[in-house]
Structure 1
């Protein structure tokens, strides 16, 4: 028997956060560009997808506020709403639990009231019509009518594992139709500098394709420089 029961919540205060300029620089940037700038790192599992019903937005970029919930629970997500600043994205794990919803329209409405930009979770959502009415974007694993509990234990603000990635509060989250990418706080400036090169390369390649290119330069190089065995 435990002499003292653990508290249902652990909350980290004074969460780190990117600068306003860093946050602004990621707005409207495709996740593909961000993933390329990270050399393929930071991409959440493809099971975490945007809800696209009812013309919900499908692009968001903002600092993470993390919540770790026990499977089937919601308490940490609810507590994380207390720390949301304008433009933040709540990233809430339920340890991949699919037996009930990770959140619903009431959470989304409170997130919107607090100035939050989006929710990312590795569980399903519920109350789709209400979520559509709220109008904030959501990335999740689907839909479920089953309600979560609010018992804990859980954490807010501490690093979490979600979708195969580690996410810390203050990391930049960039999400769109293709999925979700996590940019570690300490790598933001490096990624932003690399994005300029990626944009230029992508624009040049697009121009070549519009002009009629049929085979990639990479493939043509391998075909012509002795690295191919022809049978």
Structure 2
């Protein structure tokens, strides 16, 4: 038999990794597609996680992770008191869809604590109240079913959310297309790659605006021996 676990396990702020202010600010206006391209086409959470209608659909900041058992929100309820201004609370519920992973009051509390927003791999409830709180929220949908507050839960430890490993201090970038996680150790490298991606995208945008109908790589394939033509 095992001992009863602690209701909450919390990593103190001094022991958490956090990007610099400059690193955080550098992601402010980057489209999620550019960030994913800078990570070789990977890094997006499950496509079901989208912005709640009526709320800002742009979000970025360092992750503060919350780990809950399915149907439980103990860690999330404690998260606002542990958040630093600008944190994105990542509320992991093991992808449980049977009840809400949060509601309007926790959104208001997180807003009051200065959080940039909340991302969860479960649904939400209390849409009108969530919209009134005004805090960006990315979730899998809406349900009136309510969770419990039994624990155990953890704040600041690694979680699995939306199919991705997320650690406190990773950068979260989210927009209408979805949610992207940039691992802490890759922040500077991704920012450098994003600059290259942006330059290529801007050059291609200009060519399309001028009437371009294809890309050079595909044109070379069409002109070469790798295509079988019929008729």
2:181 matched to which residue of 1? Answer: 182
Q: TM-score, normalization: structure 2?
A: 0.96
Distance apart, 1:96 and its partner CA: 0.8
What is the aligned-residue RMSD (CA, Å)?
Answer: 1.1
1:47 matched to which residue of 2? Answer: 48
Distance apart, 1:42 and its partner CA: 1.3
3-state secondary structure, aligned to 2:219: helix
Cα deviation code 1:135-155 (max 9, x no counterpart): 111110100112110111111
Q: TM-score, normalization: structure 1?
A: 0.96
Distance apart, 1:227 and its partner CA: 2.5
Cα deviation code 1:162-213 (max 9, x no counterpart): 1111000000000000000000001000011111111111011011111111
2:68 matched to which residue of 1? Answer: 69
2:108 matched to which residue of 1? Answer: 109
3-state secondary structure, aligned to 1:90: strand
Task: Find the aligned partners of 1:128 and 1:182 in 2 and give their Cα distance.
Answer: 26
Q: 1:91 aligned to 2:87?
A: no
1:24 matched to which residue of 2? Answer: 25
Counterparts in 2 of 1:1-231, with a 5 A limit?
Answer: 1-2=1-2, 4-13=3-12, 14-52=15-53, 54=54, 56-231=55-230
User: Is there any run of 5+ residues in structure 2 with no aligned partner, and where?
Assistant: none
3-state secondary structure, aligned to 1:209: helix
Task: Find the aligned partners of 1:136 and 1:21 in 2 and give their Cα distance.
Answer: 23
User: Is there any run of 5+ residues in structure 1 with no aligned partner, and where?
Assistant: none
Task: Find the aligned partners of 1:109 and 1:35 in 2 and give their Cα distance.
Answer: 30
Count of residues in Structure 1 that have an aligned counterpart in Structure 2: 228
